[in-house]
Structure 1
Amino acid sequence: MISAGRLATRSLFNARLPTFVTAAAYSSASTPNPKPPQKTDGPEDKWNYNVNPFDGTLSEDHFNLKPVDANALEGASSPPVGVRMLVRDFIEDSLYNPHYGYFPKQATIFDTQKTSFDFSSFRDSVEFQEEVARKYAAYGADKHDGPGRQLWHTPTELFKPWYGRAAAQCLVSEYLLKYFPYEDFIIYEIGAGNGTLAMDILNFLQERYPDVYERTRYNIIEISGSLVKLQRKKLQSLHPCVKVNHKSIFQWKTREPAPCFFIAMEVIDNFAHDVVRYDLRTLKPYQGVVTISKEGEFDMLYEPVSDPLISTFLKTRSHLKHNPPINRLLRASPALRSLYTNLPFAPNLSAVEYVPTRLLNLLQTLRNHFPRHRLLLSDFSDLPDTIPGINAPVVQTRFRNVTVPCSTLLVKQGYFDIFFPTNFERLADIGLPVGERKSSVFEHSEFLETYADLGKTQVRSGENPMLDFYKNVKVLF
């Protein structure tokens, strides 16, 4: 069954595993001017090799790596070496770098072109999936000398135009209730992909609500240059109310004072996360840092939290009484923590946790620049085949026509899709209420049963693929 909504895999190109070192070994607080350890005699081949991952020693290179972030790497024509960066910058560089990033160079969104499926012609859901598979096959076989075509699908594309019309009905119902005819219908969409959702929403408004359509302003915020060109070509001639802005939402500076609706459908799963671990003796948080040696080898090290965005997230979580993922008894008892960490082979840091710092960044942007917005957001609430860790992502690519999940985040930049599940209940707590009402969370099928014309996507057996697929997706509105 098509449920996860992605076709993409496991690293066959990187055998380097994450290295565990004690937090104190990378703590600037405990060693302000650390002296690099002396080189020791050992194997020259460092492939998957560490002298001793538990004694806190670091190679000399780690003390001389240049700190960078994803913005500084935008002009790089090839993946960097001899650098260190926060985990979110490593993920953003891997996914979005304009020269070698996954989305600019590898990803292709499944598109049925100008046609849509005639669901009444299918005997059952199995026959529908077989037709989807045939359309996938039309994209051709992968080459055997590298990663294959990174082809993935979304409900917007599979169920067009009916999925987009459901979103349109949701938005226009709220607009008519609260703002028409005194305010324009202003919509912002991030990550608009092929422009299909925008097209389906605008066609629906033009057909069913012409008075609203005349007052509609549709703004797309798109980071990909190639998709900007596609969206402008596809949309602006048919719908002059569309404006496509070529920039990242995280670089947005324009304030929208009017009431507006903000759409993020199948977008935030690719928002970069940071890694946080806690010292189990003191409960002091540490931030993960990806290091790339001059030979191109990856490691993950930990240092006391100093990044402002990570600090803000941890403070927000504490304020909302969302506990860190540490056993309740260990959190409550210093004596028990001391006893536990003195056990043989006991870890000195908590489990790896991926925290949604870029998602928090989005909420801050909405608060500051779209103070009267209403957010419509849909994405994965859970995922299979994730790498180890709490709230961990799926890391995958296609190789020789096979989708293979990977077991580590530290993989060759640009070759792999990296996408995360979202805790929607916690997102609703962190997200800002609009007026006196906080956003609500819906199951995917619940949202569609409220707003979609389900008769259009029902097959002859009575099954409804638009309801039955994407069980691991939720909607916030």
Structure 2
Amino acid sequence: MLVRDYIEDALYNPHYGYFSRKAQIFTPPGGSHFDFGAYKDSTQFEVAVANRYVELTQGDKRAGGKQLWHTPTELFKPWYGQAIAQCLVSEYLLKYFPYEDLVIYELGAGNGTLAEDILDFIRVQYPEVYERTRYTIIEISTSLARQQRRRLYNKHKSIQVINKSIFHWDKREESPCYVVAMEVVDNFAHDVVRYDLHTLEPYQGLVAIDEYGDFNPFYSKLTDPTIRSYLSLQRELGYPPSLGRLLGVPILRKAFANMPFAPNMSTPEYVPTRLYSLVRVLRDHFPRHRLLLSDFSSLPDAIEGVNAPVVQTRLDGTMVPCTTLFVTPGYFDIMFPTNFEQLRDMYEHVLSQPYIAGWGADLDSDASETPSDASSPRSQSPGVLSGYFSSFHPASRRIPMDGIASASGLPVGERKSSVFTHAEFLQTYSDLSRTQLRSGENPMVDFYKNVKFLF
């Protein structure tokens, strides 16, 4: 199987996948929240978090122990969720209120904490907006979907939980909407690519399982259309193959390849094919969406390779990193960093492409190969025709869709997405006094320095 299929099976298989059997989300004491003003400094707060880990994991007798992981949503609730809500409402009030509903889609909602905090905040602070809010959770996990319904359905009538993979989404949302993905894409499957050092021909990574249950990775000529389409997009955006600084120079690469016992292929590169597929789903099924995404931009203890993941498990309360991707499925978390600058460029480029019904519906088809008549203006979608006769268009704005003006009422298109650090985003939208310690430190801003936002 392709490496991305192996990763998805290891993480999401309903019978033995890591998230189906082992993983549990960290929650603050008493199911409430930390009283940040009660802690002297960040050291004392970290001790409190560590003690809570012990409470949640002690007495667990399962093989491998309880796989507990935390998110800023749970660690800093409800203030983190309120910052997300403030961001969404601010944009909505500026652009759409009172003519459109506030439509929010959340991908992978975990315990449902973020959805609850967002809706609670809007109900109290913006009751007029709350009356016009529609909130939909798209959740791949059956058990988490049940938990989210129990937690949210009796409290908020505007919410709907759909137990489905976003990659199998088949409805088209014509209204303007916001798609929220917090701490989701780090567990999206990637493919592995290596390049022949003599020809620079790419090879796709696969894994075979023998009769003893051992995993045997190998490489074959590139045939998968999704990988091919992504690499084509990389080249179009000006991102060269990841060969390293030295091997990127032809003469040095040739000299290295001719050395005795030198490898004939480049270092493995992990390419975000599932993230690429997500962007295509958003373009095709949510044409007027705005994406708010946050995740890790870098990770320590990664295995060998470019954009390589961290493969780890928790054993007796200690996190143990591995040196290989190919481990027993179900016992190990596999987390990838996200190159946010490349994601932004890829996202904006894909959104600028026309949507043609029936083309690209299969996420494993080669979306880079457009129909033969797609180059003529008459066959293009309205989003492309809007700027067809324009002599100037701002580089910071998207090409507008026909009949849909921007907030200014001018046909200048939506603002393009930008990348923000974790601290920059929270300093803009959160009430930092709520998470400040007595020393003046603020863990909600100071923690997660390796996290970024795309909005």
What's the TM-score once normalised by structure 1's chain length?
0.80
- Superposition pairs for residues 176-191 of structure 1, below 5 Å? 176-191=93-108
- Superposition pairs for residues 110-149 of structure 1, below 5 Å? 110-112=26-28, 114-141=31-58, 146-149=63-66
CA distance in 1, matches of 2:333, 2:302: 12
Deviation sequence 1:244-269 (CA, Å, 0-9, x none):
00000000010001100000000000
CA distance in 2, matches of 1:456, 1:263: 23
Query: What secondary structure is seen at the aligned counterpart in 2 of 1:287?
Result: strand
Cα 1:131–1:361 shift into 2, 3 Å? same
Contact 1:142-1:399 at 8 Å conserved across structures = no
Contact 1:142-1:149 at 8 Å conserved across structures = no
Match of 1:92 in 2: 8
Query: What secondary structure is seen at the aligned counterpart in 1 of 2:295?
Result: strand
Cα 1:211–1:318 shift into 2, 3 Å? same
Match of 1:164 in 2: 81
Query: 1:329 Cα shift?
Result: 6.6
Matched, 1:444 2:422: yes
Cα 1:329–1:134 shift into 2, 3 Å? closer
Superposition CA RMSD, Å: 1.4
Match of 1:254 in 2: 171
Contact 1:143-1:400 at 8 Å conserved across structures = no
CA distance in 1, matches of 2:333, 2:56: 19
Match of 1:457 in 2: 435
Cα 1:233–1:182 shift into 2, 3 Å? same
Query: What secondary structure is seen at the aligned counterpart in 2 of 1:139?
Result: helix
Matched, 1:107 2:23: yes
Match of 2:226 in 1: 309
CA distance in 1, matches of 2:249, 2:447: 42
Structure 2, unaligned stretches of length 5 or more?
A: 352-397, 399-412
- Superposition pairs for residues 261-272 of structure 1, below 5 Å? 261-272=178-189
Structure 1, unaligned stretches of length 5 or more?
A: 1-84
CA distance in 2, matches of 1:230, 1:93: 23
| Aligned amino acid, residue 468 of structure 1 | D
The structure showing larger relative contact order (alpha-carbon pairs under 8 Å, at least 6 residues apart) is 1
Contact 1:286-1:304 at 8 Å conserved across structures = yes
CA distance in 2, matches of 1:444, 1:417: 23
Match of 1:384 in 2: 300
Contact 1:162-1:456 at 8 Å conserved across structures = yes
Cα 1:143–1:456 shift into 2, 3 Å? closer
Query: 1:385 Cα shift?
Result: 0.5
Query: 1:145 Cα shift?
Result: 6.8
Match of 1:355 in 2: 271
Contact 2:54-2:317 at 8 Å conserved across structures = no
CA distance in 2, matches of 1:452, 1:145: 39
Match of 1:232 in 2: 149
Contact 1:91-1:272 at 8 Å conserved across structures = yes
Query: 1:313 Cα shift?
Result: 0.6
Deviation sequence 1:197-244 (CA, Å, 0-9, x none):
000000000000001000000000000011001100101111010000
Query: 1:393 pairs with 299, 309, 315, which one?
Result: 309
Contact 1:381-1:422 at 8 Å conserved across structures = yes
Match of 1:28 in 2: none
Cα 1:348–1:89 shift into 2, 3 Å? same
Match of 2:377 in 1: none
Contact 2:340-2:454 at 8 Å conserved across structures = yes
CA distance in 1, matches of 2:25, 2:316: 18
Query: 1:403 Cα shift?
Result: 1.2
CA distance in 1, matches of 2:452, 2:254: 40
Query: What secondary structure is seen at the aligned counterpart in 2 of 1:138?
Result: helix
CA distance in 2, matches of 1:256, 1:287: 35
Query: 1:331 Cα shift?
Result: 4.7
Contact 1:146-1:399 at 8 Å conserved across structures = no
Query: 1:140 Cα shift?
Result: 3.4
CA distance in 2, matches of 1:338, 1:134: 55
Cα 1:330–1:460 shift into 2, 3 Å? closer
Deviates more, 1:113-122 or 1:149-158: 113-122
CA distance in 1, matches of 2:50, 2:183: 21
Query: 1:327 Cα shift?
Result: 4.4
Query: 1:114 Cα shift?
Result: 3.4
Structure 1 runs (4+) greater than 2 angstroms displaced: 140-146, 327-333, 335-340, 432-437
CA distance in 1, matches of 2:46, 2:248: 48
CA distance in 2, matches of 1:205, 1:236: 16
CA distance in 2, matches of 1:401, 1:330: 41
Contact 2:145-2:163 at 8 Å conserved across structures = yes
Query: 1:141 Cα shift?
Result: 2.6
Deviation sequence 1:133-162 (CA, Å, 0-9, x none):
221111133657721100000000010000
Contact 1:142-1:400 at 8 Å conserved across structures = no
Query: 1:98 Cα shift?
Result: 0.1
Matched, 1:474 2:421: no
Query: 1:370 pairs with 271, 276, 286, which one?
Result: 286
Contact 1:144-1:400 at 8 Å conserved across structures = no
